[in-house]
């Protein structure tokens, strides 16, 4: 009798243990499912936010590229006129007073808040390896090329202010009248020529290098953007 009772208790105890284990496994599975669902929702939200940021960045970059192309067209026109066989000091003075390009377009910052956020909160790890590497590569290019562009613009700004302190040009003109005309009549044209030549050469070089750097950022941006749009379509089931 005692053996039968002991056997029944063991079977009951084992059954209870099995039920508890099944319950624990089910709870873990439900928890994992909930975590996966939350992770997918978070990934979807950040993917949408990144897409919006990068779409705005492509607009900004294309605007700046168009600006530098147009600025170079203006500079080429000035170079052609100053290099013409009939060019003289009057040509130089007229261009300096009325036609030199104004202060350079500032470097409009790109939209990096979302990318910085997913790095700090760990969401970047949710992306697949290829997308993860694309995002890191984009951030690296943005940082390196952005630093170069800002340095070029800062250097040009210093040069522009230097030329403006000697020969008031562009929107900085404050005086007019006989005294102004006399000052320009007596200007040191040799110094003016060297100053203007350096200004135009520097600005043209900055436009060319700036165009290359911005195009590199744009290419990396479009690569990530296309990747994220494809991921978003997979998430939503859109074709």
Closest by CA to 57, choosing from 132, 111, 2, is 111
Residues 3-62: tens digit of each pLDDT? 555 666 666 667 667 767 777 776 667 666 666 677 788 888 999 999 999 999 999 999
Measured torsion, CA atoms of residues 54, 204, 195, 108, in degrees rounded to the nearest 10: -10
pLDDT score, position 227: 96
Per the prediction, the chain carries an average pLDDT of 85
Residues 79-101: tens digit of each pLDDT? 999 999 999 999 999 999 888 88
SS3 at position 110: coil
Which letter, b or e, does each residue of 39-49 get, where b requires 16 or more Cβ atoms within 10 Å of its Cβ?
Answer: eeeebeebbeb
d(CA 199, CA 101): 10
201: CB partners within 8 A, 6+ apart: none
SS3 at position 111: coil
What does the angle CA 234 – CA 236 – CA 239 come to, to the nearest 5 degrees?
60
Taking the whole predicted model, whether its pTM rises above 0.75 is answered as yes
Residue with tokens 């997918």: 40
Neighbours of 168 (CB within 10 A): 16
Residues 195-230: tens digit of each pLDDT? 999 999 989 999 999 999 999 999 999 999 999 999
Closest by CA to 229, choosing from 32, 22, 38, 50, is 50
Q: Are 217 and 223 in contact (CB under 8 A)?
A: no
pLDDT score, position 31: 60
> 105 — phi, psi (to 5°)?
-55, 130
Q: Are 195 and 203 in contact (CB under 8 A)?
A: no
d(CA 234, CA 120): 26
DSSP result, 168-186: --GGG----SHHHHHHHHT
């Amino acid at each position: 009798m005692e053996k039968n009772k002991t056997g029944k208790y063991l079977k009951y105890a084992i059954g209870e243990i099995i039920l508890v284990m099944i319950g624990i496994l089910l709870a873990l599975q439900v928890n994992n499912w909930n975590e996966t669902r939350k992770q997918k929702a978070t990934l979807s939200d950040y993917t949408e936010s990144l897409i919006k940021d990068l779409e705005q960045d492509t607009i900004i970059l294309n605007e700046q590229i168009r600006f530098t192309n147009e600025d170079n067209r203006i500079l080429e026109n000035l170079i052609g006129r100053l290099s013409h066989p009939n060019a003289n000091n009057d040509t130089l003075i007229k261009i300096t007073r009325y036609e030199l390009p104004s202060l350079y377009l500032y470097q409009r910052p790109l939209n990096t808040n979302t990318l910085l956020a997913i790095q700090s909160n760990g969401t970047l790890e949710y992306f697949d390896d290829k997308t993860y590497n694309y995002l890191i590569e984009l951030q690296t290019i943005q940082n390196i090329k952005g630093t170069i562009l800002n340095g070029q613009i800062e250097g040009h700004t210093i040069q522009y202010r230097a030329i403006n302190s000697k020969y008031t040009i562009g929107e900085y003109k404050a005086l007019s009248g006989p005294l102004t005309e006399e000052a320009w009549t007596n200007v040191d044209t040799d110094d003016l020529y060297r100053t203007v030549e350096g200004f135009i050469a520097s600005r043209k070089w900055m436009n060319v290098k700036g165009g290359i750097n911005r195009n590199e950022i744009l290419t990396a941006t479009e690569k990530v953007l296309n990747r994220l749009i494809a991921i978003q379509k997979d998430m939503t089931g859109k074709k």
